[in-house]
């Protein structure tokens, strides 16, 4: 897209770049000492790279939408959205925090999402505090999410991608 701006008799030509297109596909991780993370699409496979690609490695087999800078057969992942993982469609994603009243998933909203967690799952989730996770559950009348299942995207203390 080309835009023209006129100011004080000077013509400025600005090239506005469109955001990269989203790619929909399935995360594939090739095992090995240095695993390769790829996105399988209807058009073939593309190698995923960057910090966020490492998060996607934790959800091999998941259907995702990836946006990133493309160079040949490689995509430098800038953002992604999980479409489906382990049977959960559009799971919640965020940083797990522990507060006085229980667990909260900080997803970018001011307050975060209060979680309702069964006692059997509380100990396992306690080990994930500070981690970036996905979770699936039912929204309760209280506004809490009753956690049915969850998975790790980035361990606590790991460097966050761009």
Residue linked to tokens 């990133």: 68
Query: Given this model, what pLDDT does residue 158 score?
Result: 73
Query: Given this model, what pLDDT does residue 5 score?
Result: 45
Residue linked to tokens 């522990």: 98
Kindly tell me if the per-residue pLDDT of 72 is higher than 80.
yes
Q: Are 68 and 20 in contact (CB under 8 A)?
A: yes
Kindly tell me if the per-residue pLDDT of 28 is higher than 80.
yes
pTM of this prediction? Answer: 0.82
CB atoms within 10 A of CB 114: 16
Tokens of 109: 């909203």
**Nearest C-alpha neighbor of 139 from the set 121, 105, 116:** 116
Cα(156)–Cα(162) distance, integer angstroms = 16
Task: For strands 74-85 and 44-49, give the pairing.
Answer: parallel
**Nearest C-alpha neighbor of 103 from the set 138, 147, 141, 142:** 147
Cα(123)–Cα(56) distance, integer angstroms = 25
| pLDDT tens profile 120-140 | 899 999 999 999 999 999 999
């Amino acid at each position: 897209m080309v835009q023209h701006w006129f100011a004080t008799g000077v013509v400025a030509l600005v090239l506005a770049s469109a955001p990269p297109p989203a790619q929909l596909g399935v995360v594939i991780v090739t095992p090995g000492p240095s695993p390769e993370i790829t996105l399988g699409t209807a058009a073939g496979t593309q190698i995923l790279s960057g910090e966020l690609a490492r998060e996607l490695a934790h959800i091999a087999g998941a259907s995702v939408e990836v946006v990133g800078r493309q160079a040949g057969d490689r995509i430098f992942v800038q953002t992604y959205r999980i479409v489906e993982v382990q049977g959960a469609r559009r799971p919640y994603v965020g940083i797990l925090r522990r507060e006085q009243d229980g667990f909260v998933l900080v997803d970018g909203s001011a307050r975060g999402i209060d979680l309702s967690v069964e006692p059997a799952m509380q100990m396992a989730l306690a080990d994930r505090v500070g981690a970036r996770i996905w979770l699936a559950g039912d929204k309760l009348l209280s506004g809490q999410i009753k956690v049915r299942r969850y998975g790790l995207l980035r361990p606590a203390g790991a460097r966050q991608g761009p």
